[in-house]
Chain A
Amino acid sequence: MSDQPRDAHVQSRKIRISFPNESISAVADLLEADCPNTCEAIWHLLPLRVKAIHDIWSGHQVLAHLDNKFVLPPENVLTYLPIPGDIFYYYRPPHYFRGSPYGRSESAEIGIVYDRDTRPQGPRGPEAVSLFANISSNLEGFARACEDMICRGQKDLLIEKLG
């Protein structure tokens, strides 16, 4: 697949997100019309293998830390009630929060919502995020693997280009 700028009318690119140690994967559509710059930046970051951990403020959500240097400007920033399958990017500048949640005073992260009744939040309240993708297949299996992280801890998460 070419990495050249794409025609806006071309069907959305897709990514595969998976827990490689469990052979569980889902496919998500990039929301290129709503969040073009974030989609493009994330696309060029792939493939990406990171540790995912269950969120403790937001509800049914897992998160993965990116390199702190991967700072993207806000785009379609939403403080909102996501739907299951939403995938978003957010960045916390240094000392945005008290202390260093997850050992980081600065952090770029990806969040994935796997069930309803969820709202992206942190210790200072609702978080504005850039919504860039939504899971379009096998959300149910992926959700069970996410839910399992509450008790079993963090897991390797692989994000790849699909086409």
Chain B
Amino acid sequence: MTRVKIRLGNVEAFAQLDERDAPKATKWLKETLPIDGQAMHSMENGREVYVVLDTPHQITEENQTIYQTVGDLIVYYKPAIFVQPQWPRHIRDFLVIGFIYERDSAIRGMSGPLATNLVGKITEGIVALAHEAPRMRREGFGKLSFSLA
């Protein structure tokens, strides 16, 4: 079982990749890590924090759900308007990797629920993330990184 370290601002957490149910996406993720970028808080889905992958990748639909829950590590194409309101109009969406840190959250597209690839589950540090994300909402967002533990 592959572990991934998540660092958000001043805190760390760990996730286990779901290589059995998401073999292609987790293989891609392991080859892509480390990922480091500007942390972004969702403006449309609730308690979600993510980072935009700035290089092109083709991720196939795998182990998908519209019922995201606390601790889910997810990869999906987020509608561009929820990333950059002044987005270049030829870009429909951006590939993002993120996580859900509190319940009552649901990933949405432009017309309703959006299925996301569930690639892992946060097993340690979810409480720390759930405190750090709201703090950064108030005080400003820093970096979010994912790396092999």
Binding site for B on A (CB under 8 A): 53-61, 97-98, 115, 117, 123-124, 143, 147, 150-154
Contacts and interface: CB of A to CB of B under 8 A. Distances in A.
A91 to B, nearest CB: 19
Given A123-B104, A154-B137, 12 more contacts: A55-B43, A56-B46, A56-B48, A57-B44, A57-B46, A60-B43, A61-B43, A98-B103, A117-B110, A143-B85, A151-B40, A154-B138
26 contacts: A53-B137, A53-B138, A54-B137, A56-B43, A56-B45, A56-B46, A56-B137, A57-B44, A57-B45, A58-B44, A59-B44, A60-B43, A115-B85, A117-B81, A123-B46, A124-B104, A143-B85, A150-B41, A150-B43, A151-B38, A151-B40, A151-B140, A152-B140, A153-B139, A154-B137, A154-B139
Interface string B3-43: 00000000000000000000000000000000000101111
A54 B110 contact: no
B96 to A, nearest CB: 14
Contacts of A143: 85
B85 A56 contact: no
B140 A153 contact: yes
Contact of B82 (A59, A98, A124, A154): A59
B107 to A, nearest CB: 12
B78 interface: no
DSSP class of A's interface residues: helix, strand, loop or mixed? loop
Given A59-B82, A153-B140, A153-B141, A54 B104 contact: no
A97 B83 CA distance: 27
Contacts of A59: 43-44, 82
A87 to B, nearest CB: 18
A141 B104 CA distance: 33
A124 B46 CA distance: 11
B137 to A, nearest CB: 6
B140 to A, nearest CB: 4
Nearest to A143: B85
